[in-house]
Structures are given as structure tokens and as C-alpha cells.
């Protein structure tokens, strides 16, 4: 028994030391490094970025008629991906091509996604649309696609390679910058805000976090981003994290949730602590709970991407690539800031999903 006591003491004190050292290092947590200068965001209004909107989609399939376009996405579970899938399959049906849609069960299964890409390439499709979970992991397979003359269209998050003929995506840095400006305006351009992100490894997680933080630093010096935490896109885990942030910062004025699961967690936390309406929350994407919260004013507003448009445009780009048309390096599918005042506008309603 004596041995046990000594061991428990040792283990206990070690754990405490770990905690203590981690605490002190946390105090000096640097803000995430800037990966790119945030695009000058249009401060007012809906503002879809017009960076590469010169792209005109094809009106017929041409040489791609009846051929197969393989789409390898990040999954099917989130409603966002369901909307992308719908956009892609509808556009394919409209133009007379066959589209297949696959994706791994969760957004951390990089290896499974690569297997799916491999399977897709083995089917010798006319073109491949690929939303990489890890923008660098697919190098060998992309070379294989190039060798087989299968054009690759990147979508949602970029693929870190010169092989994709174009990338169809939301400009997340600019969108998160608009989000920062909106939140700043709502809390009087001063005070403490916190961010909950789905993860710190994916392109969307990194760009939305950095786009938001950098815009705050550059344009809103009186706003302090006091905490950035990661909730895996799980509404319950994100709620517990949000409550911990509120405990730590009783004077918190605003929250930014960087994807649907994160903002859901924030909304749950505000509800469970009775802070609805007291802390300003802004979010990303749609989903029933978020739309309800925006309609009732509990959530001030959100950025919506255009998931249906992402799906449709990647099929368009694939068809163009098969027909040998030159494509712009990036095809921006746009984003909108929406709140109680414009949620019912037709152009917003068209891109929201439940």
C-alpha cells in the first residue's frame, strides 16, 4: 500500500506541474500567424467578393456529354455537404453528364479520402473534382491523374499543387474579415471577443480563424480576441468550451463560431447560461438552429457560403476542362453576410440550407 501512496503522490504532483506549466505557456499564446494579408473587405452590406467572378459556366456538355465526373468531397454528413452534393448532381443532370459523389465519414479521415480518390481515378472518369481534407497529402495521386490525362478540379479548400486546373471555393479569409467587421460594429468597436473553431488543421479552420483575427488586429485595435478554442464541430463539446470561455471572461461581449457545429455550440451555451441576447454571437453557414436563432435575434448574423453553387460550379469547371477551355486559377463562389433584415431576400434564401 505504501508503494501506491508514493506513486499516487508522484503522479498527482506531476499532473499538477504539467497543468501549471501549460497554464503559464497559455498566458503567452501568440495569435495565429498570418498566412495571408486579409483581403480588404467591403465593410457594408452583403458583399460577395468579386475576385474571379469573370467565369461563365457552360450551357452544354460538349465533348463531356454522357461521360462521368467523379466528385470526391469531404463527406456527406454535414448539411453543407448535402447542399454541395445537390448542387453538383443537379448541374450534372441538367447538362447531361454523370456525376458520382463520395466522401469519408468524418473530416479527419485523410487516408480514407485518398483511397476514395484512388478508386475514382481507377474508374477512368472524364474529370475529377476533389476537395482535399489535407491540401498536401494527395500529391502522388494527383500526378497519377495528370499522367492519365484526367483533369483535376479543386473545390472547397485548395489543393496544394499546380496540377488542379482551377479551384472552386469561397474566399474564407475575406468572408471571416467581413464577419470581424460586423461583430466589431455590433459591440461598439471595443471589448473582448472569443472564437470557437472546428479544428486547427483544415484549410477552412485556419483561414476563417486567421481572417477574423487579422481583420480585428488591423482594423479594430480596441477589440481583444481573448480566446480561440477548438470544438471539433461538435455542438455539445463546443457548448462546454463556450461556457468555459464565458466563465473565464465575465465581461465577454462577442462570440464568433467558425462553422455550423461551432456556432450551434455557442448558441446552446448562451441558452444554458441565460446569456441569450447579452452576448453578441455571429456564425457561419446555415442549418435550422442557426436560422431560427437569427430570426429571433439571439444570433446577430452569419456568413453563408454558396454550397449549391460550389457543387454546380465544380461540375461546370470539369465540363470546361474536358472541352479544353482555359479556366481562371480560382473560381470564387461568393459569400453573403445575412441577418434578420435580409434573411428572406431571394438571393440569400437560395443559398441557405436546413
Partner 1 sequence: MQSTPTPAPSRVQSLLKGESIQRLLALGALVILLVFFSIVVPHFASTNNYIDILTATAVNGVLATGVTFVIITGGIDLSLGTAMTFTSVVMGLVSVNMGLPLPIGILAAFAAGALVGLTNGFLIAKLKLPPFIATLGMLYVTLGMAQVISDVHPIYFETIQPSFQQFFMGKTIFGIPNIVWVMFGGAAVAWILLNRTILGRYTFALGSNEEATRLSGVNTDRWKIIVYVVDGLFVGLAGIVIASRMASAQPGLGMGYELDAIAAAVIGGTSLSGGEGSVVGTIIGAFLISTLRIGLSVAGVPDQWKSVITGLVVIGAVYLDILRRRSRA
> Residue numbers of the site for partner 1 (CB under 8 A)?
1-4, 7-8, 11-12, 14-16, 18-20, 22-23, 25-27, 29, 75-79, 82, 105-106, 200, 227, 229-230, 232, 234-236, 239-241, 243-245, 247-250, 264, 268, 272-273, 287-289, 292
Question: CA 98 to CA 87: how far, in whole Å?
Answer: 13
**Residues 6 or more apart whose Cβ sits within 8 Å of residue 163:** 142, 143, 145, 146, 152
User: What grid cell was written down for 160?
Assistant: 496544394
Taking the least distance from each CB to partner 1, the nearer of 211 and 261 is: 261
Taking the least distance from each CB to partner 1, the nearer of 74 and 220 is: 74
Taking the least distance from each CB to partner 1, the nearer of 190 and 236 is: 236
Taking the least distance from each CB to partner 1, the nearer of 302 and 322 is: 302
**Could you please report the per-residue DSSP string of 307-334?**
HHHHHHHHHHHHHHHHTT----SEEE--
Closest CA to 301 of 225, 346, 352: 352
Residue 53 CB, nearest approach to partner 1 (Å): 31
User: What grid cell was written down for 140?
Assistant: 502522388
Residue 25 CB, nearest approach to partner 1 (Å): 8
Residues in a beta bridge with 51? none
Taking the least distance from each CB to partner 1, the nearer of 132 and 239 is: 239
Residue 22 CB, nearest approach to partner 1 (Å): 4
Question: CA 201 to CA 74: how far, in whole Å?
Answer: 14
Residues in a beta bridge with 154? 130, 167
Residue 127 CB, nearest approach to partner 1 (Å): 26
Question: CA 299 to CA 303: how far, in whole Å?
Answer: 12
Taking the least distance from each CB to partner 1, the nearer of 122 and 247 is: 247
Residue 45 CB, nearest approach to partner 1 (Å): 30
Closest CA to 303 of 68, 52, 49: 49
Residue 163 CB, nearest approach to partner 1 (Å): 31
Handedness of CA 17, 20, 22, 25 (dihedral sign): negative
Amino acid at each position: 500500500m505504501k508503494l501506491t501512496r508514493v506513486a499516487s503522490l508522484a503522479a498527482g504532483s506531476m499532473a499538477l506541474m504539467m497543468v501549471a506549466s501549460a497554464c503559464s505557456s497559455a498566458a503567452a499564446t501568440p495569435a495565429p500567424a498570418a498566412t495571408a494579408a486579409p483581403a480588404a473587405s467591403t465593410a457594408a452590406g452583403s458583399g460577395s467578393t468579386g475576385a474571379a467572378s469573370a467565369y461563365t459556366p457552360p450551357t452544354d456538355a460538349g465533348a463531356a456529354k454522357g461521360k462521368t465526373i467523379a466528385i470526391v468531397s469531404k463527406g456527406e454528413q454535414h448539411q453543407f455537404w448535402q447542399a454541395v452534393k445537390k448542387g453538383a448532381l443537379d448541374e450534372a443532370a441538367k447538362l447531361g453528364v454523370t456525376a458520382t459523389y463520395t466522401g469519408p465519414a468524418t473530416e479527419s479521415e485523410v487516408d480514407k479520402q485518398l483511397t476514395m480518390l484512388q478508386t475514382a481515378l481507377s474508374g477512368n472518369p472524364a474529370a475529377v473534382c476533389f476537395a482535399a481534407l489535407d491540401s498536401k497529402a494527395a500529391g502522388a495521386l494527383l500526378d497519377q491523374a495528370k499522367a492519365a490525362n484526367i483533369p483535376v478540379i479543386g473545390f472547397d479548400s485548395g489543393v496544394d499543387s499546380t496540377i488542379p486546373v482551377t479551384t472552386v471555393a469561397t474566399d474564407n479569409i475575406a468572408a471571416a474579415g467581413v464577419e470581424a467587421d460586423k461583430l466589431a460594429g455590433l459591440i461598439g468597436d471595443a471589448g473582448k471577443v472569443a472564437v470557437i473553431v472546428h479544428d486547427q488543421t483544415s484549410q477552412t479552420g485556419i483561414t476563417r480563424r486567421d481572417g477574423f483575427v487579422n481583420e480585428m488586429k488591423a482594423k479594430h485595435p480596441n477589440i481583444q480576441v481573448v480566446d480561440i478554442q477548438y470544438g471539433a464541430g461538435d455542438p455539445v463539446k463546443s457548448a462546454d468550451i463556450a461556457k468555459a470561455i464565458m466563465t473565464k471572461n465575465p465581461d465577454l461581449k462577442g462570440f464568433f463560431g467558425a462553422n455550423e457545429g461551432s456556432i450551434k455550440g455557442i448558441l446552446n451555451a448562451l441558452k444554458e447560461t441565460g446569456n441569450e441576447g447579452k452576448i453578441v454571437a455571429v456564425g457561419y453557414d446555415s442549418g435550422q438552429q442557426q436560422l431560427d436563432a437569427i430570426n429571433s435575434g439571439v444570433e446577430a448574423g452569419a456568413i453563408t457560403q454558396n454550397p449549391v453553387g460550389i457543387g454546380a460550379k465544380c461540375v461546370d469547371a470539369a465540363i470546361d476542362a474536358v472541352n479544353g477551355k482555359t479556366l481562371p486559377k480560382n473560381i470564387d463562389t461568393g459569400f453573403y453576410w445575412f441577418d434578420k433584415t435580409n434573411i428572406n431576400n431571394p438571393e440569400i434564401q437560395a443559398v441557405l440550407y436546413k
